[in-house]
Amino acid sequence: MIALAAVAAVTLGTLGLGAWGVRFVRTTSDLLVASRAVSRWWNAAAISGEYLSAASFLGIAGLEFALGTSALWQALGFTVGYLALLLFVAAPLRRFGSYTIPDFAEARLRSGRLRSLGSVIVLLICGFYLLPQLKGAGLALNVVTGSPYWVGVVVVATVVAINVAIGGMRGITYVQAFQFWVKLTAIALPVVVLLVHLGGLPGRATLFGERLPHAGPHGLRLALSAPERVRFPAAATFIADGRVVHVRAGEQVQLPRGLLRLPAGGVVPLAVGAGEVAQTGAQWSRPVGGSGQAAPLLVYSLLIATFLGTMGLPHILVRFYTNPDGPAARHTTVRVLGLLGIFYLFPAFYGALGRVLTPQLYLTGQADDVVLRVPAAAWPGPVGGGLGALVAAGAFAAFLSTSSGLTVSMAGTISHDIWPALARRWRAGNRLEPWRESRWRSSTAAARLASPGATGVALRRRRFRVAALLAVLPPALFALLVRSIDIGILVGWAFAIAASSFCPLFLLGIWWTGLSARGALIGMVFGAVIATSAILAGLALGEPTSGAGALLTQPAVITVPLAFLAMVGVSQLDARRPEASGEMLALHAPEGLGLRLAESEGDDDDPDLPLGRGRRRERLQRG
């Protein structure tokens, strides 16, 4: 009950702050200037707050619980991506002044087609990233209230759609910064309290020794709501539905509905089909091992995907423009590294505690629940319940803030890059009835004439609202259909696609004058296509966990170099290279010389767009 209240408070708080944020934005004459008064620490907390998602909050601990400590490479990878961003992207991109990835692609290479392609990839990445947020919401609400899985998905999708559609979560740096501290408290405080209560990590033999996950000293009682097919890794005895059953090692059995009881110390079976194998403590705690996700090649592939993929996450990039200048972008990123490093210390403890205290999750195959279930299992009673409520509220904060950021990015892309292009094509193909055409003409003419005309803003706002709903719908439907994929794996895919398409675009576009528009176009398509098809093939083959097949689900180590090669190769073939000296000046010249590219505020007055999403006319201002 207390947990439900905490989750409701976080949800209502988000809606309220969203509404408050709209007023804040509308009464501020220049949003950008206001945002630029934000200090580096606030900015760093805001970036971290937007970044920490369901994958960070639930996914890492879930993967660690299921697969072993090799999953902790993901936590390191999520942090280290900001180092790549710092070294190669943060300052130049801030100086360049384009606010989204399609903006950058178009301005750097002067190609409208590149903008459209970038928009499509933005949608793909955001979709892959949004899906696990919604899945996490379904799980969390189920654990907290016992409601069916779909309720949480629908609740969060609805809240986010409403929130974004009324124009919330935009430029609210302080809200995102506050969210970071909420999430850090929600994940850190319970662990510290529980470890003190338990007197350190319990069950060392299960964690690091030779024991398999087993029932605690009081045995294990579990009410199964549906028959469950499981495999016993060792000989065991259990009582199912009142009957005593003996099984041999390696035997598969169908557990009936009803009460299941395992004796104290009895080995816990694993759900068949989840793709996990029983591991002793020594196997489980080995960070790099012989096979599966722990194989060295896969560890490196994961690290490459996260190292290079972070810079391609659309909702993160927007946040960087609240920095006043290039050096501030650098200093902010260093602080982000520190804040994330602190946060990612904690999920590891949940996975470990879960292995000892909630082994029944192996049986039911609900590894992603482990963060939510550990507090009550470690300290039964009101204290554990309260800590569990705190964790659930933090998890909800994570789903809501990241989902909102993603939805804003998607809705902005749909309504401003894709919709107008499609509308033009559609009008060219179909003769419209005269009255509709004239109405369209008058509204776009108004949009062009007035700066910005009330009609133009209203039209774009309407589009943005419809786009927000369109953006949330497909991931929500998918989240309802696929429950069986781990959150961490889904987010890994988003990173792999980002690393294989946007990362080469940034690195080559910023540091190499020889990049051509055609090269960037072909390289991005190639990278995105091979990364996506590898992932889909891996999914079709049922997430193979060993050998070359496993590389399909973690393809970055192959697809990123290929995308780079394609981009460089095609650019070299192009005889006519663009003169990029103006762009290079904008990217690399330090501030304070009086020759920065000035940003005219153009059509940046639409309050529904994420920070600075309007197209910016750039001109060279001489000192």
Partner 1 sequence: MIAGGGAQRPRSLRTPRDELAEATAHGEVYLRRLRRAQLALSLLALTAFGALFGVLPIVLYLLPALQRIAPLGIPLSLWLLVLPGPPLFVALGWLYTRRADALDAAFRELVER
Contacts to partner 1 by CB under 8 A: 69, 72-73, 76, 79-80, 82-83, 86-88, 91, 200-201, 204, 208, 282, 285-289, 296, 299-300, 303, 326-327, 330-331, 333-334, 337-338, 340-342, 344-345, 348, 511, 581-582, 584-585, 588-590, 592-595, 620, 622-623
Q: Which residues pair with 24 in a beta bridge?
A: none
Nearer to partner 1, 289 or 394 (CB): 289
Main-chain phi, psi angles of 576, to 5 degrees? -90, 105
Nearest approach in angstroms of CB 240 to partner 1 is 36
Closest CB to partner 1 among residues 71, 530: 71
Are the C-beta atoms of 85 and 310 separated by less than 8 Å? yes
Q: Which residues of 241-268 are buried (b: 16+ CB within 10 A; e: fewer)?
A: eeeeeebeeeeebebbeeebbbeeebbb
Write down the least CB distance from residue 331 to partner 1, Å: 6
148 or 590: CB nearest partner 1: 590
3 state SS of 38: coil
CB closer to partner 1 out of 473 and 593: 593
Q: Taking the CA atoms of 501, 503, 506 and 511 in sequence, report the sign of the dihedral they define.
A: negative
* 3-class secondary-structure state, position 158: helix
Q: Which residue, 110 or 424, is less far from partner 1 as judged by CB?
A: 110
Spell 454-464 as b/e; 16+ CB within 10 A means b. Answer: ebbbebbbebb
Taking the complex as a whole, the smallest distance from the CB of residue 446 to partner 1 amounts, in Å, to 38
| Cα–Cα nearest to 586, from 108, 95, 85, 105 | 95
Tell me the closest approach of the beta carbon of residue 582 to partner 1, in angstroms.
Answer: 7
Taking the complex as a whole, the smallest distance from the CB of residue 564 to partner 1 amounts, in Å, to 15
Encoded tokens for 467: 């786009």
Distance between CA atoms of residues 485 and 550, nearest Å: 15
Closer by beta carbon to partner 1, 348 or else 466? 348
Nearest distance in Å: CB 287, partner 1: 5
Q: How far is the CB of 348 from partner 1 (least distance, A)?
A: 6
Q: How far is the CB of 283 from partner 1 (least distance, A)?
A: 10
Is residue 69 a contact partner of residue 587, using CB atoms and an 8 Å limit? no
Beta carbon of residue 156, minimum distance to partner 1 (angstroms, whole number): 30
Supply the minimum distance, in Å, between the C-beta of residue 338 and partner 1: 5
Share of the chain residues as helix, strand and coil, in percent rounded to the nearest 5: 70, 5, 25
For the chain, the residue count is 623
For residues 346 and 48, what is the distance between their CA atoms, to the nearest angstrom? 15
Identity of the residue, 32 or 589, whose beta carbon is nearer to partner 1 in the bound complex: 589
Smallest gap from residue 588 Cβ to partner 1 (A): 5
Question: In this complex, which beta carbon is closest to partner 1, that of residue 73 or of residue 396?
Answer: 73
- Closest among 227, 131, 199, 50 to 491, alpha carbons compared: 131
Q: Considering beta carbons, is residue 280 or 455 the nearer one to partner 1?
A: 280
Whichever of 73 and 399 has its CB closer to partner 1, that residue is: 73
Nearer to partner 1, 24 or 346 (CB): 346
Cα gap 551→525, rounded to integer Å: 20
Close Cβ partners of 140 (under 8 Å, ≥ 6 residues apart): 7, 58, 152, 372, 392, 395, 396, 399
Query: What is the smallest separation between the CB atom of 558 and partner 1, expressed in angstroms?
Result: 17
> Beta partners for 258?
224
Give the H or E element holding residue 224.
Answer: strand 220-224
Tokens 């904060």, located at residue:
397
Our CB check for partner 1 shows the closer of 121 and 340 to be 340
Half-sphere exposure of 286 (CA within 13 A, CB side): 15
CB-count burial class (<10 Å; 0-12, 13-18, 19+) for 71:
buried
Beta strands in 232-323, from DSSP E residues, in sequence order: 236-240, 243-247, 252-255, 258-262, 270-271
Amino acid at 310: T
User: CB count, 10 Å around CB of 291?
Assistant: 12
- Supply the minimum distance, in Å, between the C-beta of residue 83 and partner 1: 5
Which is nearer to partner 1, 295 or 490 (by Cβ)?
A: 295
CB of 441 to partner 1, least distance (A): 40
Distance from C-alpha of 18 to C-alpha of 7, rounded to nearest angstrom = 16
Q: Which is nearer to partner 1, 5 or 620 (CB)?
A: 620
> Per residue in 489-507, is it b (16+ CB within 10 Å) or e — as a string?
bbbbbbbbbbbbbbbbbbb
